[in-house]
């Protein structure tokens, strides 16, 4: 059952919310204006009445971004998923349609699952040939300052993008160890999640799709190349610093890992995957990558 719906359309040449509906446990906050008055964008903040997602909650949100409109869907803080009560799990579904020459940015703060939490989310986007989409999907290890490190029961995230109706363009294929068509982190596997993730506290995925994000796509690819070249640089055998002892005992794990790949016809999309030891480092990365979008979105995302 739908718990929230927003339609953004052009009214007198401006991106305007023409329909907005929400009910418990979901609520929308839509500021009158974000950033410069000259920026044509609608910002939508999603919040829940309990300050997080409670065991058993089911949220279904429908967003339509009309032709030529720009919309941002975000949060005010991390999405907390509280402890599961018995066999109850929580779920959240987002379905979004992005019109011709329209742009949707889905840029939430990370999901943080408490100990024993059970949570699944599904996000489906339907785009046109000239639509643009920015999607950030990320999760932290939990309240690790309280000793909860990847201690939830289940986290499952599915992201699908369909082109021009029902043609699959992108089916999310990411997990803690590279599983199948979804993020699937579940206790009871061969090795515990915490053991497999070691010191990494955050995993994230960033999707950049469409003509309005071409410059950001180029930047993020170059920056990821530089980051990984520096992080994974190994001294050559002829180097004075290189010894087998150093190789065996003194190599440090990179604190920030990233990779990227292109997808879609003519490489119209770029997906970047991240594993990091701190949430702050991911915030810093996102701030830097999206800083050039201020004229389009009114403010710098994650600033």
Contact 92, 139 (CB under 8 A): no
Average pLDDT, the chain: 88
Q: pTM (2 decimals)?
A: 0.89
Give the span between the Cα atoms of 240 and 248, in whole angstroms.
16
- pLDDT number for residue 189: 52
* 52-61, 177-186, 250-259: range with lowest mean pLDDT: 177-186
- pLDDT number for residue 239: 39
Per-residue pLDDT band for 166 (boundaries 50, 70, 90) equals: confident
DSSP states along 211-253 = GGGHHHHHHHHHHHHHHHHHHT----TTSTT--HHHHHH-PPP
* 194-203, 271-280, 293-302: range with lowest mean pLDDT: 194-203
In terms of average pLDDT, the best of 10-19, 157-166, 175-184 is 10-19
The per-residue pLDDT for range 250-260, each reduced to its tens digit, is 467 899 999 99
Q: What number is the average pLDDT over the span 16-24?
A: 97
Give the span between the Cα atoms of 65 and 104, in whole angstroms.
7
The per-residue pLDDT for range 82-109, each reduced to its tens digit, is 999 999 999 999 999 999 999 999 999 9
Q: What number is the average pLDDT over the span 179-199?
A: 60
Using a pLDDT cut of 90, give the percent of the chain over it: 73
The per-residue pLDDT for range 236-281, each reduced to its tens digit, is 444 344 333 444 444 678 999 999 999 999 999 999 999 999 999 9
Per-residue pLDDT band for 181 (boundaries 50, 70, 90) equals: very low
Q: Which two tokens stand for residue 203?
A: 């995993």
Q: What number is the average pLDDT over the span 105-120?
A: 95
Using a pLDDT cut of 70, give the percent of the chain over it: 87
Q: What number is the average pLDDT over the span 1-13?
A: 95
- pLDDT number for residue 238: 43
Residue closest to 28 by CA, chosen among 61, 53, 56, 2: 61
The H-assigned helical ranges of the chain are 193-197, 214-231, 244-249, 279-290, 294-297
Q: How many CA atoms lie within 13 A of 183 on its CB side?
A: 22
- pLDDT number for residue 147: 85
- pLDDT number for residue 268: 95
Give the span between the Cα atoms of 249 and 178, in whole angstroms.
27
- pLDDT number for residue 172: 85
**218 or 36, which is more confident:** 218
């Amino acid at each position: 059952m739908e718990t929230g719906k927003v339609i953004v359309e052009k009214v007198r040449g401006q991106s305007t919310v023409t329909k907005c509906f929400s009910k418990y446990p979901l609520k929308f906050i839509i500021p009158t204006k974000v950033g410069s008055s000259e920026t044509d964008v609608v910002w939508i903040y999603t919040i829940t009445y309990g300050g997080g997602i409670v065991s058993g909650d089911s949220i279904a949100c429908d967003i339509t971004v009309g032709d030529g409109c720009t919309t941002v869907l975000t949060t005010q803080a991390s999405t907390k998923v509280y402890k599961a009560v018995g066999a109850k799990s929580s779920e959240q579904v987002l379905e979004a349609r992005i019109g011709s020459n329209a742009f949707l940015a889905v840029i939430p703060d990370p999901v943080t699952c408490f100990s024993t939490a059970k949570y699944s989310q599904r996000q489906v986007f339907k785009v046109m040939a000239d639509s643009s989409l920015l999607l950030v999907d990320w999760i932290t290890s939990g309240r690790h300052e309280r000793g909860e490190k990847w201690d939830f029961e289940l986290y499952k995230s599915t992201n699908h993008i369909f082109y021009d109706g029902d043609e699959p363009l992108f089916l999310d294929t990411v997990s803690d160890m590279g599983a199948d068509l979804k993020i699937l982190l579940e206790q009871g596997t061969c090795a515990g999640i915490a053991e497999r993730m070691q010191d990494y506290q955050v995993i994230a995925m960033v999707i950049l799709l469409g003509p309005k994000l071409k410059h950001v796509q180029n930047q993020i690819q170059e920056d990821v190349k530089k980051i990984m070249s520096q992080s994974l640089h190994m001294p050559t055998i002829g180097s004075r610093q290189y010894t087998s002892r150093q190789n065996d005992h003194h190599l440090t794990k990179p604190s920030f890992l990233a990779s990227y790949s292109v997808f879609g016809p003519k490489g119209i999309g770029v997906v970047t995957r991240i594993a990091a030891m701190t949430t702050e480092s991911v915030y810093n990365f996102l701030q830097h990558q999206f800083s050039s979008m201020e004229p389009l979105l009114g403010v710098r995302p994650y600033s």
